[in-house]
Amino acid sequence: MAFCRTCGSPVDGQFCTKCGTPAQPPAGAAYNPPPPQPPPAPQPPPAQPYSQPAPFTPAYAPPPMMAPGVEYAPWATRVAGFLIDYALVMVAGGALILIAILVFGSLAGLAGSMGSEGLGHFGGGGCCCVLVLLPLASLLVGLWNKAYLVAKRGSSIGQGVMKIRVVNAQGQLLTMGQAVLRLLAHVGMSFVAPVALLDLLWPLWDERRQTLHDKAVGSYVVTSPAA
> Does residue 213 lie within any of the structural domains?
yes
> Does residue 58 lie within any of the structural domains?
no
User: Looking at the chain, how many residues does it have?
Assistant: 227
- Which stretch of DSSP H or E encloses residue 191? none
- Which stretch of DSSP H or E encloses residue 113? helix 75-114
What is the extent of the structural domain holding 185?
Answer: 75-223
> Does residue 173 lie within any of the structural domains?
yes
CB neighbours of 125 closer than 8 A, spacing ≥ 6?
104
Number of domains making up the chain: 1
pLDDT at site 38:
76
> Does residue 177 lie within any of the structural domains?
yes
> Does residue 63 lie within any of the structural domains?
no
Mean pLDDT computed over 27-41: 65
CB atoms within 10 A of CB 3: 13
> Does residue 54 lie within any of the structural domains?
no
Bridge-based pairing of strands 164-167 and 220-223 is antiparallel
CB atoms within 10 A of CB 107: 19
pLDDT in tens, 43-90: 777 766 666 666 666 565 555 566 666 789 999 999 999 999 989 988
Tell if the pTM clears 0.75, that is, is over it: no
3-state secondary structure (DSSP) of residue 137: helix
pLDDT in tens, 156-208: 999 999 999 999 988 899 999 999 999 999 888 888 889 989 999 999 999 89
> Does residue 67 lie within any of the structural domains?
no
- Which stretch of DSSP H or E encloses residue 172? none
> Does residue 68 lie within any of the structural domains?
no
Is 121's pLDDT higher than 80? no
